[in-house]
Amino acid sequence: MQGQSCNDLHGQVTQDKQAAMDIPKLSKGVLANIKAGTRHLTAEQALFIAGEVGLNQEEVIINLGIEKSKSEEEKSVYESLAKKIKAAGHSAAMLLLAAGLVLGVAQNEPEGSLCTL
Protein backbone atom coordinates (compact mmCIF):
# COMPACT_ATOMS: atom_id res chain seq x y z
CA MET A 1 0.00 0.00 0.00
CA GLN A 2 2.97 2.24 -0.48
CA GLY A 3 2.30 5.50 -2.24
CA GLN A 4 -1.34 5.69 -1.20
CA SER A 5 -2.46 8.49 1.08
CA CYS A 6 -4.87 7.98 3.96
CA ASN A 7 -7.56 9.72 1.90
CA ASP A 8 -7.01 7.30 -1.00
CA LEU A 9 -7.28 4.31 1.33
CA HIS A 10 -10.38 5.72 3.02
CA GLY A 11 -11.98 6.31 -0.38
CA GLN A 12 -11.29 2.70 -1.41
CA VAL A 13 -12.73 1.33 1.84
CA THR A 14 -15.82 3.49 1.40
CA GLN A 15 -16.24 2.33 -2.22
CA ASP A 16 -15.83 -1.32 -1.25
CA LYS A 17 -18.36 -0.95 1.56
CA GLN A 18 -20.84 0.71 -0.83
CA ALA A 19 -20.31 -2.00 -3.46
CA ALA A 20 -20.88 -4.69 -0.85
CA MET A 21 -24.14 -3.01 0.12
CA ASP A 22 -25.36 -2.52 -3.48
CA ILE A 23 -24.46 -5.82 -5.17
CA PRO A 24 -26.65 -8.81 -4.26
CA LYS A 25 -25.14 -11.37 -1.87
CA LEU A 26 -21.80 -9.57 -1.67
CA SER A 27 -20.02 -8.92 1.59
CA LYS A 28 -16.82 -6.97 2.18
CA GLY A 29 -15.02 -10.26 2.79
CA VAL A 30 -16.22 -11.81 -0.46
CA LEU A 31 -15.29 -8.61 -2.30
CA ALA A 32 -11.79 -8.77 -0.80
CA ASN A 33 -11.46 -12.38 -2.05
CA ILE A 34 -12.65 -11.37 -5.53
CA LYS A 35 -10.11 -8.54 -5.64
CA ALA A 36 -7.40 -10.95 -4.46
CA GLY A 37 -8.32 -13.37 -7.26
CA THR A 38 -9.30 -16.23 -4.95
CA ARG A 39 -13.01 -15.99 -5.72
CA HIS A 40 -15.25 -14.96 -8.63
CA LEU A 41 -18.49 -13.06 -8.89
CA THR A 42 -21.59 -15.21 -9.08
CA ALA A 43 -23.70 -15.08 -12.24
CA GLU A 44 -26.33 -13.13 -10.30
CA GLN A 45 -23.78 -10.53 -9.21
CA ALA A 46 -22.27 -10.27 -12.70
CA LEU A 47 -25.73 -9.77 -14.23
CA PHE A 48 -26.58 -7.11 -11.66
CA ILE A 49 -23.39 -5.17 -12.43
CA ALA A 50 -23.90 -5.58 -16.19
CA GLY A 51 -27.41 -4.19 -15.88
CA GLU A 52 -26.25 -1.25 -13.80
CA VAL A 53 -23.51 -0.18 -16.21
CA GLY A 54 -25.18 -1.20 -19.49
CA LEU A 55 -22.98 -4.13 -20.49
CA ASN A 56 -24.20 -6.93 -22.75
CA GLN A 57 -25.40 -9.57 -20.28
CA GLU A 58 -24.72 -12.51 -22.60
CA GLU A 59 -21.11 -11.43 -23.06
CA VAL A 60 -20.70 -10.92 -19.32
CA ILE A 61 -21.93 -14.44 -18.52
CA ILE A 62 -19.73 -16.00 -21.23
CA ASN A 63 -16.68 -14.07 -19.98
CA LEU A 64 -17.46 -15.12 -16.41
CA GLY A 65 -17.57 -18.73 -17.61
CA ILE A 66 -14.23 -18.31 -19.36
CA GLU A 67 -12.70 -16.79 -16.22
CA LYS A 68 -14.06 -19.55 -13.96
CA SER A 69 -13.13 -22.41 -16.31
CA LYS A 70 -11.25 -25.19 -14.62
CA SER A 71 -9.97 -26.87 -17.78
CA GLU A 72 -8.78 -25.84 -21.22
CA GLU A 73 -11.64 -27.85 -22.76
CA GLU A 74 -14.23 -25.93 -20.73
CA LYS A 75 -12.56 -22.61 -21.58
CA SER A 76 -12.51 -23.57 -25.26
CA VAL A 77 -16.26 -24.28 -25.24
CA TYR A 78 -17.01 -20.87 -23.67
CA GLU A 79 -14.73 -19.13 -26.17
CA SER A 80 -16.47 -20.90 -29.04
CA LEU A 81 -19.85 -19.76 -27.70
CA ALA A 82 -18.54 -16.20 -27.42
CA LYS A 83 -17.45 -16.26 -31.09
CA LYS A 84 -20.84 -17.62 -32.19
CA ILE A 85 -22.75 -15.00 -30.23
CA LYS A 86 -20.54 -12.25 -31.63
CA ALA A 87 -20.97 -13.58 -35.18
CA ALA A 88 -24.74 -13.83 -34.71
CA GLY A 89 -24.80 -10.26 -33.46
CA HIS A 90 -22.91 -9.08 -36.53
CA SER A 91 -25.21 -11.09 -38.81
CA ALA A 92 -28.30 -9.65 -37.14
CA ALA A 93 -26.91 -6.13 -37.45
CA MET A 94 -26.19 -6.66 -41.16
CA LEU A 95 -29.69 -8.07 -41.68
CA LEU A 96 -31.25 -5.05 -39.97
CA LEU A 97 -29.08 -2.71 -42.02
CA ALA A 98 -30.07 -4.44 -45.26
CA ALA A 99 -33.76 -4.37 -44.30
CA GLY A 100 -33.47 -0.69 -43.46
CA LEU A 101 -31.87 0.03 -46.82
CA VAL A 102 -34.57 -1.91 -48.69
CA LEU A 103 -37.33 -0.14 -46.80
CA GLY A 104 -35.64 3.20 -47.35
CA VAL A 105 -35.44 2.62 -51.11
CA ALA A 106 -39.04 1.38 -51.23
CA GLN A 107 -40.30 4.47 -49.42
CA ASN A 108 -38.50 6.79 -51.86
CA GLU A 109 -39.82 5.11 -55.04
CA PRO A 110 -42.97 6.43 -56.72
CA GLU A 111 -46.02 4.26 -56.10
CA GLY A 112 -46.25 1.34 -58.50
CA SER A 113 -42.67 1.64 -59.75
CA LEU A 114 -41.27 -1.31 -57.77
CA CYS A 115 -41.43 -4.74 -59.34
CA THR A 116 -43.53 -7.28 -57.52
CA LEU A 117 -43.41 -11.04 -57.79
Tell me which of 37-41, 60-64, 65-69, 88-92 is least confident.
Answer: 88-92
Q: Within a 10 A sphere around the Cβ of 116, how many other Cβ atoms?
A: 4
What is the arithmetic mean of pLDDT over 75-81? 91
One-letter amino acid identity for 96?
L
pTM exceeds 0.85: no
Are the C-beta atoms of residues 26 and 45 closer than 8 Å to each other? yes
